[in-house]
Structure 1
Amino acid sequence: MPLEEYKRKRRFAETPEPPGKVEKKSQHRFVVQKHRATRLHYDFRLEMDGVLKSWAVPKGPSLDPADKRLAMQVEDHPVSYFDFEGIIPEGNYGAGTVMVWDTGTWQPLGDEHAMLNKGDLKFHRPGSKGTEWLLIKKQDEYAVPGFNIEQYDTSVLTGRTMREIGGDKASAEWESDRPASRGKAKAPWLADTLAKLDREKRKKASTTKEAAAAGVKKNEKTKAITTAKNSVRNPEATTEKRNSPASSLSSVLEGLQGAVKRPMPTAIHPMLATSVDKPFDSPEWLFEIKWDGYRAVCFLENGKSRLVSRNQNDLTGQFSELQSLPKLIKAQTAVLDGEIVALDEQGRPSFSLMQQRTGIRQGNRHTAARRDVPIMYYVFDLLYLEGYDLRRVSLEQRKEVLAQIATSGDLLRYSDHYPGQGIALFEAAKQKGLEGILAKRRTSCYEERRTREWLKIKITHTIDCVIGGYTDPEGSRQYFGSIVLGLYDKKDHLIHIGQAGTGFNQSRLKEIYQLLKSLETDRNPFYGPVDARNVHWVKPELVAEIKFSEWTHETADGGLKLRAPVFLGLREDKDPKECVFDQ
């Protein structure tokens, strides 16, 4: 049945979407619906054969002939879906806000089924022709170079914005990166952050709306769409075969520049980013959150997943719950790149929780693994899909396809990006205590090495700590190995928070060592356990400024610790008693 897949995916007792039926007549109408679901996209639907033939268009239609729009065929929708506008509730397929963005009628310029079978569907609205998976605007009087789709953000039926249709901030804003609702592992902060950036971007666009929209009528924005190329529709085949997502996907992959048909690779060395000091803005780059976990390439084949680390170690057994990943990817064979992360109570990635989950701690000491720490796989790249190697396809196109095949759930999240505005995303990530952000050139191919096509901008923090001891040097190092650090709690107890062994040059090592030797004592100044070996205690009189990446989580064998501490210098202007946790 043409609507069997549509009905299978929906629980009509919970969603306001219409159950629908196959109509006897088709009126040759079209509708474009703006849909904020897992990520923002547009759904392009043509009324044909008693249903709405449907394609998901990540970037939406354009009036600029220079634009080519990737589209992914999805299941047929009932004709009654034509004027559906509202909210699909959380927990349902396609959850999010839906707007009727544009409507109209179309007339095929010939036999529509024959044209689809040939791969070149042409239809008439004044000056237009059209395709299955590439949407290309014809060069005519309606062409608008530099067309900005974000200038049109109201419904053609009701005049409402997405926010007004959603009825509240949470349902109206972009929430593509919300972690799964797993107990306390919720993260509305990231949705809010990206929503703010989204609003800023729309605000900037609105300032030039009148000039850009001059002479363009809103009801013309879809009538001049063309579709051109490589339809896999076969009118002789069964309905099920004609509507096969795999067939449609194959036609999309064939048309991607750089895609090569070849067997699936058995090993991938992840592409690595180069560190830079400062964030930047550029329309040529995409910016993402840097997830702090275990990098893992996922091989999906025959309904099974295999996870491999950046050092080619098999991680599959350590994260057995991720064996269900094939159910969340709409493909038979695929190679994904992503990060396995553990989330804290606020839904933020925590490397220290990952260490507790795997039982690996700093200094290569092994402790019992905590299987109760929930993890998820943030997927951010697609390297291979259904017989096609995509490593030479541009990053932006790889991510467009990835967004269409990934189904977010408790164990899988599509890691979205924000184009152009690296500084704003960096500041937002800094406020939330994240590790940093990544900048990726939007045209970059996937290179199995460290490259400057991907950049990482890490966020660091500084804190003033009391020096309570030092450790013996190892190897060729002279004077001492690291300084042992502490902070005072509310009971005036000096609590150990870690060691800093980097940030010293040879002369600085000697200088600090002489100060430490003069303060050496037999008395341990710390209260509670000290997680360090071969420690020489000193009187707690020196204050060091320390740079670090994050606080680790409190564990059974110790309190909070600094991650990646680096010595910056001595603070002679600060009293050790001022070095408290709440600085």
Structure 2
Amino acid sequence: MSADKLDIYRSKRDAARTPEPVPEPGPLPSGHDDTFVIQEHHARRLHWDLRLERDGVLASWAIPKGLPLDRKTNHLAVHTEDHPLEYATFEGEIAQGEYGGGLMLIWDRGTYETEKWTDREVMFVLHGSRVSGRYVLFPTDGKNWMIHRMDPPPEDGLPPAADLRPMPAEDRKRLPRDQEAYGFEFDLGGTRALAILGGGKVRFIGADGAPLTPESTPGLEELDGLGKAAWGLPAVLDGRIADVGGAPIYMIFDILRLNTGDLLGRTYQDRRRTLDHLSLRDRRWQPTPWFPGDGKPVLKVARDQGIPAVLAKRLDSPYLPGARSPYWLRIPVPPAG
């Protein structure tokens, strides 16, 4: 048995190569055993890390699909090494090639109450800004545990979206001068639509906030399967329903909410990274390609392919529902010649 609860943690990290806190061996800090943090971890596969303060460290579980929102579904929770208490405030980019390499973002923080803590069962109540409720963790096989929600589920499983409208772009005649500060996308036309996913269902709202229907948007019923994408997690996506080869395709270029969390304040670059990790690719939907740093090749390809315009989005841009701003620009493709 390890003499120090953080020995395994230290053995997997080089303090000279990672921005993570790596405290020296010594007495552990004392706390109140009531702090929790959930971190979104962009490692080889997107997942969430649940950490509960316990006896001077953060007991930790990696949860590939995040915390379950209803009592019908248990989610896998892989028990990992204890983390130092300082990790409760950590955000940053862990270098590729290092253990856990990738972006680490705080998803939620708050306090929790322990109802039971044994080797066979950890029962607790979370009080966070995004996640609240009563949960239980229990082991199944080695490091594999399961997490179960004990509270009733949200009413319909769909994330709130009444306050959301698609963010429009300003029209410009040419590419921005500081292209390294932007990501570039193709504007394929079609119907702008937010997709609200949850509970295996999907509904769409248009640029004016009104619901889209099969009568108003032909081919919409062919997108019903999108409700089970995003690993079955509740989400709000932004994109366009475009006609590609005579079939409707939902081209996704942003994600506004995911698994009870609001992503509007995150940068465009971070939202795109989250979207890409979800692997939302099917014959009826897919993420649009994006190209950070240089819009000239994108403009050339758009002209060669007959695409009408290119979008330039600042990498540090938040998502401003319904607000037109210089963060997002639409540049018409000039004719060849």
TM-score by length of 1: 0.35
Alignment of 1:86-235 (within 5 A): 114=59, 121=83, 136=93, 222=98
Whole-Å separation in 2 of the counterparts to 1:245 and 1:414: 30
Correspondence for 2:174: 278
Whole-Å separation in 2 of the counterparts to 1:273 and 1:245: 42
Shift in alpha-carbon separation, 1:270–1:227, aligned structure 2, 3 A: closer
Specify every segment of 5 or more residues in structure 1 that has no aligned partner in the other structure, as ranges: 1-27, 29-45, 47-61, 77-110, 123-128, 138-146, 150-220, 248-261, 345-372, 464-583
Alignment of 1:162-561 (within 5 A): 222=98, 236=121, 237-239=138-140, 264-280=160-176, 282-317=179-214, 318=217, 319-344=220-245, 373-448=246-321, 449-461=323-335
Whole-Å separation in 1 of the counterparts to 2:292 and 2:185: 9
Q: In the alignment, is the contact (CA less than 8 A) between 2:42 and 2:103 conserved in 1?
A: no
Shift in alpha-carbon separation, 1:64–1:121, aligned structure 2, 3 A: closer
Any idea what the Cα deviations from partners look like across 1:315-363, whole Å, max 9, x if unmatched?
232310111101222243211100111113xxxxxxxxxxxxxxxxxxx
Shift in alpha-carbon separation, 1:278–1:267, aligned structure 2, 3 A: same
Q: In the alignment, is the contact (CA less than 8 A) between 2:302 and 2:309 conserved in 1?
A: yes
Shift in alpha-carbon separation, 1:394–1:331, aligned structure 2, 3 A: farther
Which has the larger share of helix? 1
Shift in alpha-carbon separation, 1:244–1:391, aligned structure 2, 3 A: farther
Whole-Å separation in 2 of the counterparts to 1:409 and 1:341: 14
Any idea what the Cα deviations from partners look like across 1:547-582, whole Å, max 9, x if unmatched?
xxxxxxxxxxxxxxxxxxxxxxxxxxxxxxxxxxxx
Amino acid at match of 1:121: H
Shift in alpha-carbon separation, 1:244–1:451, aligned structure 2, 3 A: farther
Whole-Å separation in 2 of the counterparts to 1:312 and 1:223: 44
Amino acid at match of 1:300: L
Correspondence for 1:253: none
Q: In the alignment, is the contact (CA less than 8 A) between 2:240 and 2:252 conserved in 1?
A: yes
Amino acid at match of 1:451: S
Q: In the alignment, is the contact (CA less than 8 A) between 1:425 and 1:437 conserved in 2?
A: yes
Whole-Å separation in 1 of the counterparts to 2:186 and 2:102: 35
Any idea what the Cα deviations from partners look like across 1:201-253, whole Å, max 9, x if unmatched?
xxxxxxxxxxxxxxxxxxxx537979988799x97523499567999xxxxxx
Whole-Å separation in 2 of the counterparts to 1:462 and 1:75: 42
Shift in alpha-carbon separation, 1:112–1:65, aligned structure 2, 3 A: closer
Whole-Å separation in 2 of the counterparts to 1:227 and 1:381: 18
Structure showing greater relative contact order (alpha-carbon pairs closer than 8 Å, 6 or more residues apart): 2
Q: In the alignment, is the contact (CA less than 8 A) between 1:299 and 1:307 conserved in 2?
A: yes
Which has the larger share of strand? 2
Q: In the alignment, is the contact (CA less than 8 A) between 2:242 and 2:250 conserved in 1?
A: yes
1:71 to 27, 42, 59: 42
Q: In the alignment, is the contact (CA less than 8 A) between 1:65 and 1:136 conserved in 2?
A: yes
Any idea what the Cα deviations from partners look like across 1:376-422, whole Å, max 9, x if unmatched?
10111111112122212211111211222242011110113111011
Shift in alpha-carbon separation, 1:119–1:450, aligned structure 2, 3 A: farther
Q: In the alignment, is the contact (CA less than 8 A) between 2:299 and 2:310 conserved in 1?
A: yes
TM-score by length of 2: 0.57
Specify every segment of 5 or more residues in structure 2 that has no aligned partner in the other structure, as ranges: 1-7, 21-38, 48-55, 62-78, 109-117, 122-137, 150-157
Whole-Å separation in 2 of the counterparts to 1:388 and 1:395: 16
Whole-Å separation in 1 of the counterparts to 2:278 and 2:232: 7
Any idea what the Cα deviations from partners look like across 1:448-476, whole Å, max 9, x if unmatched?
2111100011114389xxxxxxxxxxxxx
Whole-Å separation in 1 of the counterparts to 2:231 and 2:42: 15
RMSD in angstroms over aligned alpha carbons?
4.5
Shift of 1:302: 2.2
Correspondence for 2:33: none
Paired residues, number: 239
Shift of 1:296: 0.6
Amino acid at match of 1:269: R
Q: In the alignment, is the contact (CA less than 8 A) between 1:296 and 1:309 conserved in 2?
A: yes
Shift in alpha-carbon separation, 1:390–1:430, aligned structure 2, 3 A: same
Give the 3-state SS of the residue equivalent to 2:254 in structure 1: strand
Q: In the alignment, is the contact (CA less than 8 A) between 1:246 and 1:331 conserved in 2?
A: no
Shift in alpha-carbon separation, 1:405–1:224, aligned structure 2, 3 A: closer
Amino acid at match of 2:42: A
Whole-Å separation in 2 of the counterparts to 1:114 and 1:330: 25
Any idea what the Cα deviations from partners look like across 1:261-291, whole Å, max 9, x if unmatched?
x962225221000011112452221111112
Whole-Å separation in 2 of the counterparts to 1:229 and 1:410: 31
